Amino acid sequence: MQNTHKFIPVNTPLLDGNEKKYLNECIDSGWISSEGPFVKRFEMAMAEKVDRKFGVAVSSGTAALDVAVASLGLKSGSEVIMPAFTIISCASAIVRAGCVPVLVDADPHTWNMDVTQIEAKITKKTKAIMVVHIYGFSVDMDPVMDLAKRYDLKIVEDAAEAHGLVYKNKPCGSFGDVSIFSFYPNKHVTTGEGGMVVTNDESIYKKCQGYRNLCFKPEKRFVHDELGWNYRMTNMQAALGVAQLEKLDRHVEMKRKMGKIYIELLKNVEGIQIPVERTDFSDNIYWVFGIVLKDEVQIDAETAIKKLAEKGIGTRPFFWPMHEQPVFQKMGLFKNEKYPVAEKIARRGFYVPSGLGLSKDEIERVVEEVKNVCI
């Protein structure tokens, strides 16, 4: 039977504030490049929002990771501990900096890195820990901060999915020596494409400013001491960001309401694992609403995604583990390594529509189709 329902995309951004007004200011003034005034305005506002002194706007979250890792000046061959379950941008930034990613498995309940596994991976070559707040829920930061202090390690904090997320009353994005955000359209603050590095360290800040702008020197622009990138954010993107940031608290509130509706409708459904609502250190902001199929469910995530698509429901698969990425296997990384939690949730996990433009009726329809397909 043909599906007659309107397709529900996995994400719909909400652009109902000052976005048009600020974009028109860019067009009317002619300031559309990275030299426009909204860039600095966005950097200052974002840094202030997460209790940081400095912000450096860049072209994507991936660019932010490249710049952040490079700014630490780690020697070639240095080891950086990171989660096995995350987006490839995290590992690629480490590899491109000439360093070696060292993996830890995910926690089966929160899907974040299992912080109890970090210390066993520390060697004399370890110079940093990269933490990644996954799918809108915080990593348990206190143990990580303690390890970093005891072993004199840097912390790179990936808060790409954590706009508005709080750990023990402190904003995520405020913990790393250097921290990053992404502003892709599915984020709580979007600039279409974009990212930002935030830090309290002025030397890191200045390095990041250089790396995002081809390492031009103020005194002699086209003479370069180092290689950088053209990772600049445009004034138009930053204008969107300023407007979006004005609404961040409202966006987080909306996401939590969506998450609670999903939780209420799915909490008694056998065969699926749904996101943790809260722990003693953090409350979920449901950046996305993830579902992991339990072992008794006969289908895997790939099949569930196809079936839901046939019913007009947009989804996305979970991240694929770093040790199973062909590109890293070709490099000889992670030989014979196994991370069973990351492997399982990658194969049995996906997330359902959870954009800010999602209605309650649409959530209810998603839930009905999830029950039909997965149970």
Q: Are residues 215 and 289 in the same domain?
A: no
Average pLDDT over residues 353-368: 95
Q: Is the pLDDT of residue 1 over 50?
A: no
Q: Are residues 217 and 273 in the same domain?
A: no
- Calpha distance 97→214 (Å, rounded): 16
Q: Is the pLDDT of residue 24 over 80?
A: yes
| Cβ partners under 8 Å of residue 46, min gap 6 | 55, 57, 181, 189, 196, 198, 241, 245
Q: What is the pTM of this model?
A: 0.96
Q: Classify 5 as helix, strand or coil.
A: coil
pLDDT in tens, 41-53: 999 999 999 999 9
CATH code assigned at 60:
3.40.640.10
Q: Are residues 229 and 263 in the same domain?
A: no
Q: Are residues 237 and 112 in the same domain?
A: yes
Q: Are residues 366 and 265 in the same domain?
A: yes
Domain end (from 230, 245, 260): 245
Q: Classify 171 as helix, strand or coil.
A: strand
Q: List C-alpha distances in Å: 149 to 33, 113, 115, 143, 155.
A: 41, 19, 15, 10, 10
- Listing DSSP states for 294-337 in one string gives -TTSSS-HHHHHHHHHHTTB--EEPPPPGGG-HHHHHTTTTTT-
pLDDT in tens, 264-294: 999 999 999 999 999 999 999 999 999 999 9
Q: What percent of the chain has a predicted confidence (pLDDT) above 90?
A: 97
Q: Are residues 259 and 236 in the same domain?
A: no
Domain that holds residue 367: 248-374
Q: Is the pLDDT of residue 85 over 70?
A: yes
pLDDT at 60 (0 to 100):
98
**pLDDT confidence of 374, banded at 50, 70, 90?**
confident
Domain end (from 245, 264, 279): 245
Domain membership of residue 1 (yes or no) is no
Average pLDDT over residues 230-246: 98
Q: Are residues 23 and 60 in the same domain?
A: yes
Domain end (from 176, 211, 245): 245
Which residue type does 246 have?
E
Placement of tokens 């029950």 in the chain:
371
pLDDT at 375 (0 to 100):
72
Mean pLDDT score of the chain = 96
Q: Classify 32 as helix, strand or coil.
A: coil
Q: Are residues 351 and 257 in the same domain?
A: yes
Q: Is the pLDDT of residue 296 over 80?
A: yes
Number of domains in the chain: 2
Please list the residues that pair with 350 across neighbouring strands: 291, 317
